Amino acid sequence: MSEIRFDHLHGQYVLIAQERLHRPDIQKTKITKPTNHRCPFCNGNEALTPPEVYAIRDNEANKSGWKTRVVPNLYKAVQVELEQKSMRFGMFEVTAGVGAHEVLIDSPCHDCGLEKLDVRSIENWLRSMIIRIDDLKKDHRLIHLSIFKNYGAHAGATQEHPHTQILALPVMPQNERIFLEHNMLYYKRHGRGKVEDILQNEITAKERIVEEVGIFVAFCPYASSFPFEVMIAPKRNLSSLEKCSRDDIINLSILIKSIFTKLTNQLGNFDYNLYFKLAPLNTNFENEQYMSSLHNNYRFTIRITPRIYRIGGFEVSTGMGINPVSPEESAVLLNSKSI
């Protein structure tokens, strides 16, 4: 029996329709052989990328022998060198495309997704993000930060080598402005943020919990838009990744490794999007009314959305997802042995 559930975090409805599970449109990633001689992200091909802005390494910059590497995106959507200015033409407004667009190369391994990396390598991946967050925060023009992974063609990846994109903007996307507003209203009414109460409800229900490590909990959200969707949230009000202690990062690395191992056990080599939802980098007129209370009501989250089914006209036209696998069933399967 299908259900319509409300996603309190995003303020939208989701259809849980298990009858659609057996549609003949499941998408599989085609496994390809490593192509080190052509891949700009492979160890030894550093000259094929712009000069690095950060790397974890024990030797000279822009040489082989690194553990993680961050470079400007060769096909950048925004540019940090631009002057921030806007112009109006009647009711139309245009603003210079100021911002930062970087690529974090997860590891030197061409065919190592997160499920194949060891915990230390995932820790290096997270620590590289923290370094870049701290650096980008120094540019006070930048207020919104998007960190995301597209893995596989069906998730929008254009490079086979696993990598993560870091994109900082001088404006707040509408969905983030709406979330900040609704989260503040919820906080004023309850004295708690939305993620705090969602997480507590999941811990109490126990039906959708996948795993806990340290202060971090992984669960299949009650109103998941995607089959086997997993969300990770901390039990404390940590507004961004750089607020984590060293032990927190280690525990988060262990949890991410475990979740991707479980997903791979069930789905095989699957396409996915992964994204971090983080507090604003800096204050401006768009978010200043929310910034002073973020330490009390904002918790960063990580969302993993497997892309094993196509999105069609209904999803695009309504903004509602149709999920053929209930989050309760997803949690059971992820906690079971591989099929």
Structure confidence by residue, pLDDT tens digits, 103-112: 999 999 999 9
CA-to-CA distance for 21 and 69, rounded, in angstroms?
40
Q: What is the percent of the chain where pLDDT is above 70? A: 90
What is the rounded average pLDDT of the residues 124-149? 96
Q: What global pTM score does this model have?
A: 0.89
Place of tokens 């911002």: 99
Whether residue 71 lies inside any domain: the answer is yes
**From the centroid of its chain, how far is CA 71?**
19
Question: 291 falls in which pLDDT band (50, 70, 90)?
Answer: very high
Asked whether 249 and 129 are in contact (CB, 8 A), the reply is no
Structure confidence at residue 79 (pLDDT): 77
Whether residue 203 lies inside any domain: the answer is yes
Whether residue 339 lies inside any domain: the answer is no
Whether residue 247 lies inside any domain: the answer is yes
β-partners of residue 13 are 6
pLDDT above 60 for 204 = yes
What region does 268 belong to: left with phi over 0, alpha with psi -120 to 50, or beta?
Answer: left
What is the rounded average pLDDT of the residues 219-240? 95
pLDDT, one tens digit per residue, over 147-193 is 999 998 888 888 899 999 999 999 888 889 999 999 999 999 999 99
Domain count, the chain: 1
Whether residue 117 lies inside any domain: the answer is yes
Whether residue 161 lies inside any domain: the answer is yes
The whole domain housing 134 covers: 3-334
Domain of 37, CATH number, reads 3.30.428.10
Structure confidence at residue 298 (pLDDT): 96
**Could you tell me where the DSSP H helices lie in the chain?**
119-136, 174-190, 194-205, 246-267, 288-291, 294-297, 313-318, 327-334
CA-to-CA distance for 141 and 96, rounded, in angstroms?
12
Structure confidence at residue 10 (pLDDT): 74
Whether residue 92 lies inside any domain: the answer is yes
Whether residue 177 lies inside any domain: the answer is yes
Q: Minimal CA–CA distance to 154: which of 273, 315, 313?
A: 273
